């Protein structure tokens, strides 16, 4: 008898033990049952540590340079958020410059020429 197997009802067959049924196989998040063993996995935004059981949040703010563009990155478990500086708007999660000239409000008046600046 090997670890990871249990004896079947006929006392001759080795059956896989589903370790995930008990205590989630010791896994932090996702337990994957394999024949004769099992493994752990993590939800997206988390990383499996070297103990192969524990999931740790990925700090996108420090790991991915300039992830927010013109904004402040705030790390959350499993995700992150970009808080844009004034004059910038979030597009596809990244803070990009608002082109005030394109907005419906005619900020420069009828005859004024509008020049878009960063921020
Ligand atoms: Ca198993
Ligand atoms: Ca995160």
State the Cα angle at 58 between 61 and 46, rounded to 5°: 150
Q: pLDDT tens for residues 71-86? A: 999 999 999 999 999 9
**Nearest ligand for residue 20 CA:** 1
Cα(12) to ligand 1 centroid in Å equals: 18
- pTM for the full model? 0.70
Domains of the chain, first to last: 5-57 (2.10.25.10), 61-97 (2.10.25.10)
**Nearest ligand for residue 2 CA:** 1
Residue 45: which of 21, 67, 15, 72 has the closest Cα? Answer: 67
Q: pLDDT tens for residues 3-37? A: 899 999 999 999 999 999 999 999 999 999 999 99
Q: What pLDDT shows up at residue 99?
A: 84
**Nearest ligand for residue 74 CA:** 2
Cα(26) to ligand 1 centroid in Å equals: 13
């Amino acid at each position: 008898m090997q670890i990871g197997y249990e004896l079947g009802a006929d006392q001759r067959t080795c059956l896989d033990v589903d370790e995930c049924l008990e205590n989630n196989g010791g896994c932090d998040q996702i337990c994957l049952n394999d024949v004769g063993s099992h493994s752990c996995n993590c939800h997206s935004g988390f990383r499996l540590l070297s103990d192969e059981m524990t999931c740790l949040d990925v700090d996108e703010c420090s790991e991915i340079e300039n992830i927010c563009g013109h904004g402040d990155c705030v790390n959350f478990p499993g995700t992150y958020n970009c808080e844009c500086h004034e004059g910038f708007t979030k597009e596809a999660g990244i803070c990009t410059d608002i082109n005030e000239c394109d907005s419906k409000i005619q900020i420069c008046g009828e005859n004024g020429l509008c020049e878009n600046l960063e921020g």
